Amino acid sequence: MKNIFLFCDAGMSTSLLVSKMRESAKVHNVDVEIQALPFGKSFEIIQNNKADCILLGPQIKFLLKDIEEKCEKHNIPLDVVNSIAYGTMNGEKVLKQAIKMIKANQNK
């Protein structure tokens, strides 16, 4: 099972997107655990090496540089959720983005 974390300002705006991602994972039989959390929890998740992939909500993309080095140190792929997929709550597209990141990281 792979662990995907989405971080936003308070962890609430990504909750609906996470629900959509879980629905898509279930339909496609993808074994993942997906959680939405406030950005303040990101350092704990990274430090404890609990993530296989981290995505930031578009509204906090300005914080990308704040955690980029920490993610690299722990070999955790990091990106910002595609803003169109986020705005349309396209869980399948965001799930594909995360899976692609995880696979690319495994092939390094």
Q: Does the annotation count 53 as an active-site position?
A: no
At residue 92, what are phi and psi to the nearest 5 degrees? -65, -45
Give the DSSP letter string of 52-104. SEEEE-GGGGGGHHHHHHHHHHTT--EEEPPHHHHHTT-HHHHHHHHHHHHHH
Identified catalytic residue from 8, 30, 56, 71: 8
For residue 63, give every residue at least 6 positions away whose Cβ sits within 8 Å of its Cβ, in sequence order, or none.
39, 56
**Positions marked catalytic:** 8
